[in-house]
Amino acid sequence: MVKSWLFDIFNYPHDPRPEGFDPELAQEEFDWHLETWTGAEELGYDGIFFSEHHFTAYNMSPSPNLLVSAVAQRTNTMHLGVMCNVTAFHHPRRLAEETAMLDYLTHGRLEVGLGRGADDLEFKKEGFPLEDTRAWFEESLELMHQAWEKPRFTHHGRFFDYQDTALYPRPLHQPRVWITALSPSTVSWAAAKGYRMAISFLPASGLADMRKAYDEAARAAGRTPTADDVAMLRNVFVADTDEQAREIAEPALDHVFRLYKEAAVPEDVEHMAKGYEAYSSFFRPFVSGGGVTFEDLQAAGIVIVGSPESVRDQLVAQTSEVGCGHLLNWFSFGALTKEQTQRSVELFAKEVAPALRAV
């Protein structure tokens, strides 16, 4: 069975220049997105993951835990989380406290997604050296687990130092932790630690290889991995026909990938920071030749656009090939309107999700 989730970067779809930001338009975006997120429960979605980015129109949820809290008060069954909280932008003691509070506010529906981040320009603006992200990430998780699990904790590390400290409140339910993974080292590390893994932005064959590496590392650590350990992210847009879907989705995807290139793609992809060498091949298509085109993304299966039948067949094939138990659907992107997005979300729920549950 493959569970169907919403995933939302929540980008600003209007003038992307800081001086072009319109608070009134932003209010409209917040209002209809909140309506869409809360309405997903009635449509039968299993959950929602929000995203964290900073400093650009690519994202309007720099504090996505606030969105989790807001949606939690309007829903009863959907699981809610962030994919992912970028640890380099957080103090882990504060993040452990927030997630503990959210465990209570969601009544145990919280999913905790964490990652070290990969958007070079964000780190430069924050003044955080990329070379330190993995060490900060791993020490942050170590401290957070101590804070969640122990009545009193002591931690003496490279970045953080606590002596005989308590967390109030500690969570009622031990957090379900997800790790976003793209580099081989992160895949193996997450599997060995027993974390769930979210993967994206590669063809299904590449994601299947990552799943295989995850399984091998999990078994080597004495764990038995299952499909429930793995989530796959895809841009998805559903309309009544293939032609209509492409006509609407292509300019919207062009818009969001222009924002992504400005927000995330490093200036020199051939000389990535230490620990990010594996990302060169990922970023290279954005700066070489004609860049990434809609045809490229569709041919690779990274974006799934079409009629309910087309989308269903592609996603059933991909989730079966990857062996994932969760599908994160990035429905709202670029300049898609409220009506276009909500129609896509509804068509998927009624005509695609049932086939995925049967996988």
Q: Report the sign of the C-alpha dihedral through residues 76, 79, 84, 85, in that order.
A: positive
- Dihedral (Cα; 221, 223, 226, 228), 10-degree rounding: -90
pLDDT at residue number 271: 81
Degrees to nearest 5, angle at CA 273 with 267 and 276:
100
Residues recorded for the chain: 359
Nearest-CA neighbor of 84 among 128, 118, 134? 118
Backbone angles phi, psi at 86, to 5 degrees: -80, 110
pLDDT confidence of residue 189 = 96
Is the pLDDT at 204 greater than 70, yes or no?
yes
| Domains (range + CATH), the chain | 3-357 (3.20.20.30)
| Model confidence pLDDT, tens digit, residues 45-83 | 999 999 999 999 999 999 999 999 999 999 999 999 999
pLDDT at 282: 74
Over the chain, what is the mean pLDDT?
95
Could you read off the pLDDT of 105-149 as tens digits, one per residue? 999 999 999 999 988 889 999 999 999 999 999 999 999 999 999
pTM of the model: 0.96
Give the 3-state secondary structure of residue 237.
strand
* CA dihedral sign, ordered 48, 253, 257, 185: positive
Report the pLDDT value the prediction gives residue 290, as an integer from 0 to 100.
Answer: 67
What is the structure's pLDDT at 280?
Answer: 78
**Each residue of 251-308: pLDDT tens digit?**
999 999 888 888 888 878 888 877 787 777 777 777 776 677 889 899 999 999 999 9
| Residue 120 in tokens | 């070079």
pLDDT, one tens digit per residue, over 110-120 is 999 999 998 88
| pLDDT tens per residue, range 305-337 | 999 999 999 999 999 999 999 999 999 999 999
- Average pLDDT on 241-246 reads 98
> Rounded to whole angstroms, how far apart are CA atoms 110 and 48?
10
pLDDT at 258: 87
CA–CA distance from 161 to each of 41, 139, 154, 170 (Å)?
Answer: 42, 11, 8, 19
Residue closest to 50 by CA, chosen among 261, 233, 252: 233
pLDDT of residue 284: 79
Angle at 94 between CA 89 and CA 95, to 5 degrees: 65
Name the band, by pLDDT with cuts 50, 70 and 90, for residue 353: very high
